[in-house]
A = this chain, B = another copy of it.
Amino acid sequence: MENIIWVAGHKSPDTDTICSALACAYMLEQEGKAAVAVRAGELNKETQYALAKFGAAAPELKTEIPAGQPIMLVDHNESKQAIDGLKEADVVGLVDHHRLGDLETEKPIFMLIEPVGCTATILLALMRQRGIEIPPTIAGLMLSAIISDTLLFRSPTCTERDRQAVEELAAIAGVDYAEYGMEMLRAGADISDLQPADMVQTDKKEFAVSNGTISIAQLSVMDTAPVLAQKEALLRELEADRAAHSYEASFLMVTDILEEGTQLLFAGDAAKVAAAFAAEAADGEVYLPGVMSRKKQVAPPLLGAF
């Protein structure tokens, strides 16, 4: 196993992290390198739906990486979001579409970050440059990633390149991306079996701030009413999670995919939250119309305020 490159996305994996890990491992193998996709956490329902649709096996679960193990990172670069043990591993590459965080490397490695909506969009360009053929299964996974990250082109992070990539990949995968995309998002938005304690963990990411850490989870649904009906329980769970991890503050974005807006629930200093968004933040919630992107619209003002 030692020389096989692990390809891994972030903890609390989402569809981009899982599908881009699989696509990137495929790319490396086509270049003659031994590589295997791994995942640092449980699959969400949306990702399970995408993997089943295109007949792909889930990456193996690996919650910790051995020291010295070569790893290529996709879809993240902050140590808090990475598989445990990363500091002692051998990072050999990175493809990402997030801000540059605290990653440092000992040697120069291949690193490409681009401000597009999805890691898979960047991987498509790399495969084109490198003359790598994309089979239908991989194309299906990559377009699932882009539809997921851009909420079917609704997110402000979506670029023209993401749209074009989906069209190109849909032709290879042989799917109607608009129809399949809504099905996939609906599968991911199914919260029927989620308890409030699960909801506050959905797609949770940690961010370093000057005095510690904040966490931001995101639940994207077709209808926020059934979620917000449990607001008091969600706020209790956010507070419990905040206390358990000594976070400065804990957030849950309840994002309405169809209405294109976010109800942000939080446990933490309401004055800072209000300042971050120049909005009223009372009773542990603030409504953010038009806001769908944690990366572009929620994390930056919160990182500034905390």
Chain A contacts to B: CB under 8 angstroms: 96-115, 129, 295-296, 300, 303
Contact = CB atoms under 8 A, between A and B. Distances in A.
A100 B105 contact: yes
Contacts of A103: 100
A115 B111 CA distance: 9
18 contacts: A97-B108, A99-B104, A99-B105, A99-B107, A100-B103, A100-B104, A100-B111, A102-B104, A106-B300, A106-B303, A107-B296, A107-B300, A108-B113, A109-B113, A109-B115, A110-B115, A111-B112, A111-B113
A107 B299 CA distance: 10
Contacts of A303: 106
Contacts of A114: 108, 110-111
Q: Which 4 A-B pairs have the closest CB atoms?
A: A111-B113, A108-B115, A100-B105, A99-B105
A112 B115 contact: no
Contacts of A111: 100, 111-114
Contacts of A112: 111-113
A101 B103 CA distance: 8
A129 B114 CA distance: 15
A101 B102 CA distance: 9
Nearest to A208: B104
A279 to B, nearest CB: 20
Contacts of A97: 108
A295 B108 contact: yes
A80 B115 CA distance: 26
Nearest to A92: B115
A126 to B, nearest CB: 11
Contacts of A102: 104
Contact of A108 (B98, B104, B129): B98
A57 B129 CA distance: 34
Contacts of A106: 99, 300, 303
A175 to B, nearest CB: 28
Contacts of A96: 108
A257 to B, nearest CB: 22
Contact of A104 (B101, B107, B110): B101
A140 to B, nearest CB: 25
Contact of A110 (B110, B113, B129): B113
Nearest to A91: B100
Nearest to A114: B110
A114 to B, nearest CB: 6
Contacts of A113: 108-112
A124 B279 CA distance: 47
